[in-house]
Amino acid sequence: MSALLEVKNLKKYFKTPRGMLHAVDDVSFDLNSGKTLGVVGESGCGKSTLGRVLINLLEATDGEIFFEGNNVIGMKKKQIKDLRQYMQIIFQDPYSSLDPRMSVSEIIAEPLRIYEVCKSNDELKKRVQELMKIVGLTERLANAYPHELDGGRRQRIGIARALALNPKFIVCDEPVSALDVSIQAQILNLMQDLQKERGLTYLFITHNLSVVKHISDDIMVMYLGNMVEKCNTKALFKRNFHPYTKALLSAIPIPQIGIEKRRILLEGEISSPINPKPGCRFASRCIYAKERCNSEQPVLREILADHFVACHYVESINIL
């Protein structure tokens, strides 16, 4: 199967008064069509920046992004605009991402207008009605405004808008985190149904490990701009290697009474993403850190089939 998205050594640095902030640093992966790659890691590790660079909302500092075999980096503005219709984003907070002065139908119609997809106003109206139906919004809400709706319905508008141009790839940036738990499941089910029907490919960013376990085919764990572990979701929950992944997954409660899991607490200071020091960025919090970890940055390696880890300690032990 050929990858819809091939990312090679992607970097995004931000200039700050204190130096260069390495938000995404040397991230490489492939994402096959119709699949979901979950991205997890603590706040500030670069998840949203990665998502925004992938769909060209932010310009990459370095690296390559191949979308259906074409390198997006270095494309002319017109080519990027054409490509952007196939790459969309769903934001965490549907309220702040929707223009409060526009009605539901106007918000959904906006991308169709920008890309001049419909030949007449009638066709536009019909297409908006169709999109509302697809995401489960009743027709009578067409003239409502975002503030009149609850979080779940607002997120449905965000999804309809993202679907308007028939995308292939959608970055879902914490799409259910701001919603009530009961509504989260409805929105996740809708997104999964849409994926099946339309063969959509998702990059699914979340803090919620139970959600990512449920929705992702593969998971990427990020720490301070680096990808530290990546593999199939089931495999990761069964067996994981990076000390940071272990700590992260230890925080998920086990829903069975009587089973207690030891939570691995992360101690030590988080190192700065600005002008990062050489070596492993997790070293200040890692119980396995050795001298080498402070001078040599670990490289991502395939330690088992399709299971990638960047850690000197994991490399040194016999895992088979």
Ligand X SMILES: Nc1ncnc2c1ncn2[C@@H]1O[C@H](COP(=O)(O)OP(=O)(O)OP(=O)(O)O)[C@@H](O)[C@H]1O
Q: Which of 157, 286, 300, 303 binds ligand SF4 (CB under 6 A)?
A: 286
Contact 240, 257 (CB under 8 A): no
Contact between 231 and ligand SF4 per CB under 6 A: no
> Which listed option, ligand SF4, Mg ion, ligand X, none, makes contact with residue 298 (CB within 5 to 8 Å by class)?
ligand SF4
- As measured in angstroms, the least distance from the Cβ of 286 to ligand SF4 is 3
Show the site string, 15-54: x = touches ligand X by CB under 6 A, - = not: -x----x-x-------------------xxxxxxx-----
Question: How far apart (Å, rounded) are the C-alpha atoms in residues 267 and 248?
Answer: 13
What is the Cα–Cα distance from 21 to 41, expressed in whole angstroms?
Answer: 17
Query: Is 215 an interacting residue with respect to ligand SF4 (CB under 6 A)?
Result: no
One residue of 200, 215, 224, 289 binding ligand SF4 per CB under 6 A: 289
Smallest CA-to-CA distance from 33 within 202, 206, 197 is with 202
303 interacts with ligand SF4 by CB under 6 A: no
Structure-token pair, residue 276: 């990062």
- Enumerate residues 6+ apart whose C-beta is below 8 A from 238: none
Alpha-carbon dihedral sign for residues 193, 197, 198, 203: positive
Q: Does residue number 206 form part of the binding site for Mg ion (CB under 5 A)?
A: no
Q: Where are the alpha helices (DSSP H) in 69-150?
A: 77-84, 94-97, 104-114, 121-134
Yes or no: say if 259 and 200 are a contact pair by the CB < 8 Å rule: no
Mask 241-280, x = binds ligand SF4 (CB under 6 A)? --x------------------------------------x
Which residues form the interface with ligand SF4 (CB under 6 A)? 243, 280, 282-283, 286, 288-289, 293, 298, 311-313
Q: Interface residues with ligand X (CB under 6 A)?
A: 14, 16, 21, 23, 43-49, 273
